[in-house]
């Protein structure tokens, strides 16, 4: 998985794929990487379209407002080069088969833009003015779009499929509940793929189906639902993609992972792709135009990969390239429908988002020819050996990596889990010999479990996490007394002292217990108040002569141990 040399999110390589498989064809020195990440000026996301002919990437948001909107335009280096203005919020997009026209949906219909001049060239007016987003596709030489004829509750209403010829809109008659997703492309120019999203209006058994768009009438082909007789295994559609040869359809199913279907009848392909990593939820899928690779996007936490790039042939079990996104500067998961390839397979464009779906980034990924392994060696140790609440603790370990030496220091990150939950610690650099020390200040007494992660860099796969459970003790305290060696009984005596503690500061208002032991027995005196600087004072008029012992005690609290100290004074008449 990739980071910018262990930056908090993915790094983007400046290398191209090997011509065969995913093996290196260059010397290790060529495994350099260049970060190409653009922060998108949107707070929601709808669609991504890649125009390989003109080397442009188009991105739309999903704001659902009636004011003018923008389609963001980027080049293949991740630089913003312009925008296309729409009358209201854009949502769906589709590219014509010759890449000459970009179709963009908005509230009043479907706009068309010239991909060379970036000028608007026309509009097909829809039957309804709606606030619900439309999906758009281009198949059989025509535009197709979905429409929910409503201004609200878009995911719970009936969605209809329309076609466009020129500027004329016609109804196909096909409809169903909830959000209907469309997919098409040059792989099968006459095929339109439709998938039903699992929304509030569709909870039972969503479908995937195909249409033949070659004639004047749209002809539906096979249909597939996935729930069993008990209603389990229903589709949770996030994305659809057709293979470069048009023979198969891949579905990103948040409930079932990456499904690979035969396009002819939507049956399961004989050999599926290997499962996504544990705890990774499918969110996007895309085939490269050169027929070699598939990119599978996911939502995953920490060092679990969010993106796998591997051979499109599921029988080729070459280890995938893995990328983890886990940081405030680059997002931490692949957005639904957030992947698109250049036609030659040299670049993958990925849209990432944060946990809340309020920020988005465009990554231009030119994966390296190979990734090397990494691993933690030995076990974690602590310094000091006994962890104390409120005191610095170092967790020491060693990371071993294969492949070329990194050009910048690698970094590891760690999470502390205790009774208060999880706390992410600051990432630390790995020394040239692989050693590292993660620093923490435990905040609770009890057990703290530390998980240290290396999420890889552009040429290294992530290491398996390493954990250590550490018992955290109370912080020690100490009492120091200053007392005279002798005293006169009638004159009284004074003892001074100081209470000190490690860890967190002691609370205000502490009173120390004072006991006196002489030949008449042991008794408790008035407690000693501790000042803010830890000092205290004890004054007493002894009741007996001879050896008198004063013992001062602090009982401790939730974070600190108790402490005692004693002083013996010879009292004379």
Domain edge (last residue) among 339, 370, 401: 370
Last residue of a domain, one of 447, 473, 499: 473
Statement to judge: residues 317 and 340 lie in one domain? yes
Do 81 and 186 share a domain, yes or no?
yes
Verify that 115 and 205 share a domain, yes or no. Answer: yes
> pLDDT tens digits for 42-98?
999 999 999 999 999 999 987 777 788 899 999 999 999 999 999 988 999 999 999
12-48, pLDDT tens digit by residue?
332 233 222 222 222 222 233 344 899 999 999 999 9
From CA 324, how far away is CA 341, in angstroms rounded? 19
Instruction: Please check whether residues 353 and 441 belong to one and the same domain.
Output: no
Mean pLDDT of the chain: 89
Residues of the chain by 3-state class (helix, strand, coil), percent to 5: 0, 50, 50
- Judgement on whether residues 296 and 413 belong to the same structural domain of the protein: no
The CATH number of residue 122's host domain is: 2.130.10.10
- 212 and 259, same domain (yes or no): no
Domain-embedded: residue 412: yes
Look at residue 322 in the predicted model and tell me its pLDDT. 86
Could you give the dihedral angle defined by the CA atoms of residues 59, 354, 207 and 132, in that order, rounded to the nearest 10 degrees?
-60
Strands 486-488 and 563-572: parallel
220 with 72, same domain: the answer is yes
- Which one is predicted more confidently, 167 or 260? 260
Residues 74 and 220 in one domain: yes
Strand intervals (E) in 419-545: 421-429, 435-440, 446-453, 466-473, 477-482, 486-488, 493-501, 511-518, 521-524, 528-529, 535-540
Same domain, 72 and 214: yes
Residue 465 resides in a domain? yes
List residues bridging with 332 in a β-sheet: none
- Number of Cβ within a 10 Å radius of residue 204: 10
How many whole angstroms separate alpha carbon 105 and alpha carbon 114? 15
- Flag whether pLDDT at 517 surpasses 90: yes
Q: Is residue 1 in a domain?
A: no
Q: Is 213 in the same domain as 334?
A: no
pLDDT score at 176: 92
Q: Tell whether 467 is covered by a domain.
A: yes
Count up the domains in the chain and report the number.
4
With bands split at pLDDT 50, 70 and 90, how would you rate the model's confidence at 252? Answer: very high
CA pair distance 334, 306, nearest whole angstrom: 6
Of 340, 370, 400, which residue is a domain's last? 370
Beta strands in 179-268 (DSSP E): 180-183, 191-196, 207-212, 219-225, 237-242, 248-253, 257-262
Percent of the chain with pLDDT over 90: 73
Indicate whether 105 belongs to any domain: yes
pLDDT band at residue 547 using 50, 70 and 90 as cut-offs? very high
> Residue 12 has which token pair?
């983007």
50 occurs within a structural domain: no
pLDDT digits (tens, 9 = 90+) for 327-382: 778 899 999 999 999 998 889 999 999 989 999 999 999 876 667 889 999 999 99
313 and 225 within one domain? no
Structural domain including 546 reads 477-572
Residue 442 domain-assigned? yes
Decide if 56 is inside a domain.
no
Task: For residue range 373-420, list pLDDT tens digits in order.
Answer: 899 999 999 999 999 999 999 999 999 999 888 888 999 999 999 999
């Amino acid at each position: 998985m990739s980071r910018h040399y262990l930056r908090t999110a993915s790094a983007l390589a400046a290398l191209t794929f090997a011509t065969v498989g995913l093996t290196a064809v260059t010397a290790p020195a060529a495994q350099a990487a260049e970060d190409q990440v653009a922060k998108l000026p949107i707070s929601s996301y709808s669609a991504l379209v890649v125009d390989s002919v003109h080397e442009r990437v188009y991105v739309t948001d999903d704001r659902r407002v009636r004011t003018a909107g923008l389609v963001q335009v980027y080049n293949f280096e991740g630089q913003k080069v312009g925008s296309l203005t729409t009358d209201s919020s854009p949502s769906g997009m589709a590219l014509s088969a010759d890449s000459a026209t970009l179709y963009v949906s908005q509230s009043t219909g479907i706009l068309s833009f010239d991909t060379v001049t970036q000028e608007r060239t026309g509009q097909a007016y829809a039957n309804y003015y709606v606030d619900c987003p439309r999906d758009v596709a281009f198949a059989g030489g025509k535009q197709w779009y979905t429409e929910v004829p409503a201004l609200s509750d878009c995911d719970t209403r009936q969605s209809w499929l329309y076609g466009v010829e020129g500027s004329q809109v016609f109804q196909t008659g096909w409809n169903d509940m909830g959000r209907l997703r469309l997919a098409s492309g040059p792989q099968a120019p006459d095929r339109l793929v439709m998938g039903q999203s699992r929304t509030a209006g569709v909870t039972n058994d969503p479908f995937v189906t195909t249409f033949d768009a070659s004639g004047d009438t749209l002809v539906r082909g096979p249909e597939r639902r996935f729930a069993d007789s008990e209603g389990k295994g229903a589709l949770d559609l996030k994305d659809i993609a057709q293979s470069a040869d048009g023979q198969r359809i891949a579905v990103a199913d948040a409930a079932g992972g990456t499904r690979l279907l035969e396009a002819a009848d939507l049956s399961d392909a004989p050999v599926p792709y290997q499962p996504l990593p544990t705890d990774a939820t499918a969110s996007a899928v895309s085939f490269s135009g050169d027929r070699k690779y598939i990119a599978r996007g996911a939502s995953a936490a920490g060092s679990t990969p969010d993106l796998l790039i591997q051979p499109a042939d599921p029988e080729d079990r070459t280890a995938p390239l893995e990328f983890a996104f886990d940081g405030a500067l680059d997002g931490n998961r692949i957005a639904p429908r957030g992947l698109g390839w250049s036609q030659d397979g040299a670049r993958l464009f990925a849209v990432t988002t944060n946990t809340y779906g309020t920020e988005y980034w465009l990554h231009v990924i030119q994966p390296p020819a190979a990734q090397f392994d990494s691993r933690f060696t030995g076990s974690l140790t602590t310094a000091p050996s006994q962890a104390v609440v409120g005191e610095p603790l170092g967790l020491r370990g060693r990371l071993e990596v294969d492949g070329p030496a990194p050009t910048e220091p690698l970094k590891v990150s760690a999470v502390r889990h205790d009774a208060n939950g999880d706390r992410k610690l600051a990432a630390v650099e790995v020394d040239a010999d692989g050693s590292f020390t993660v620093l923490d200040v435990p905040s609770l007494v009890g057990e703290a479990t530390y998980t240290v992660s290396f999420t890889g860099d552009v040429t290294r796969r992530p290491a398996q996490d390493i954990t250590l459970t550490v018992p955290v003790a109370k912080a020690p305290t100490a009492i120091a007394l200053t007392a005279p060696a002798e005293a006169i009984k009638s004159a009284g005596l004074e003892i001074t002292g100081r209470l000190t503690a490690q860890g967190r500061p002691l609370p205000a208002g502490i009173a120390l217990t004072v006991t006196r032991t002489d030949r008449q027995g042991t008794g408790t005196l008035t407690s000693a108040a501790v000042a803010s600087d830890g000092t205290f004072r004890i004054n007493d008029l002894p009741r007996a002569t001879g050896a008198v012992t004063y013992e001062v005690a602090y009982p401790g609290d939730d974070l600190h141990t108790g402490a005692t100290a004693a002083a013996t004074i010879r009292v004379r008449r």
